[in-house]
Amino acid sequence: MKVITVNLPQTYIKEIDSMIGENSLYPSRSELIRVAVRDFLISQLELLERITKMSQNTKEALIKEKTPEGEVLTFSEADGRIRTIRVVKKDSK
């Protein structure tokens, strides 16, 4: 594993600390953050895959706005919900 530094608001840290400890959900801040990042990545990668398939197959994903930072996509979920996603270009330095 690699060590990274993350700056969080004090309110986030307080809530994180309420969920760690001997008789809590997670043994440490690091474990809680690892689980949160893993779950976030899984959900976002699934969403990205659906958007990619949708835009390739059905063209239902609509580009609402192009900006230097990326694109804003709006599409309709199978259950009728509308989602708006900002796709940001990775800085290629």
Higher pLDDT, 19 or 76: 19
Beta bridge partners of 82: 76
Number of domains in the chain: 1
Report if residue 93 sits inside a domain.
no
In a domain, 84, yes or no: yes
In a domain, 28, yes or no: yes
Query: What is the pLDDT at residue 29?
Result: 94
pTM of the model: 0.57
Largest CA distance in the chain: 51
Structural domain includes residue 25: yes
47 φ/ψ angles, rounded to the nearest 5 degrees: -65, -45
The pair of structure tokens assigned to 55 is 């835009």
How many whole angstroms separate alpha carbon 93 and alpha carbon 22?
A: 44
In a domain, 2, yes or no: no
Kindly state the average pLDDT of the residues 2-17: 94
Average pLDDT of the residues in 24-30: 92
